[in-house]
Amino acid sequence: MTIADNIILDNLQVEQKIRRIAFQIYESNSNEEEIIIAGIAENGYLFAEKVHEVLSNISPLKVELCKVYIDKKNPINAITTSLTVNEYKNKSLVLVDDVLNSGTTLIYAVKHFLEVPLKRFKTAVLVNRNHKKYPVKADFKGISLSTSIKEHVVVEFNKNKTLVYLM
C-alpha cells in the first residue's frame, strides 16, 4: 500500500480545517485584544504558524506565536518556550499540536502553562485520535479518528503542501 492509498486529509482539506479552527479560535476570543498561539515543537509549531497566519488575516486580534519545547521521550523534563512567562501571563493562550494521540505531550504542556495565570486557556489539534491515556481533550480539532493502536498518523508539512496520512 502506498501513502496515496492512506491519505486522510489532502492539502485542500488541511487548509479548510486550519481556516475553520482559526475562525473558532477567533469566535472564542472575540472579546480579547491579544492572543498567544503556542505550538509544540516541531510539527505542532508548524501547524501553529498556519493557524497564526489565517487568524491574523481574519481578525483584528494581535496574534503572537510561541514555540513550546518539550522532550517527547521524557516529558517530565523542564519545558521551555520562546516567549517569557511575562509575555503570555494574564493573556488568552491556545496550545497547539498536530496530533493528539495518547495525550502525553499535551498534558505535560498543559501542566507547564497552568503554573502561570492565564486569562483563557484552550487547546487545538489538527488530528484527534481516540487512544488517550490522560484526561486531556482538544477544544478545537480538525478531524477526529478512531484508529487501531498500531496505526500511526503522520502529518507532513512541506513548503507548499500538507498531507495527513495513516501508516
pLDDT of 66 reads 98
CA distance 24 to 7: 25
Give the predicted TM-score (pTM) of the model.
0.92
Number of Cβ within 10 Å of residue 28's Cβ equals 16
Measured CA angle at 48 (ends 75, 28), to 5 deg: 105
Q: What is the sign, positive or negative, of the torsion defined by CA atoms of 44, 50, 53, 54?
A: negative
Quick one: pLDDT band at residue 1, thresholds 50, 70, 90? very low
- The pLDDT score that the predictor gives to residue 86 is 95
What value does the mean pLDDT take over residues 14-33? 97
Digit-coded pLDDT (tens) for 64-94: 999 999 998 898 899 999 999 999 999 999 9
**Predicted pLDDT at 4:** 66
Report the pLDDT value the prediction gives residue 2, as an integer from 0 to 100: 57
Cell 486557556 -> residue: 121
Cell 498500531 sits at which residue? Answer: 150
pLDDT of residue 3: 63
pLDDT tens string 88-118: 999 999 999 999 988 889 999 999 999 899 9
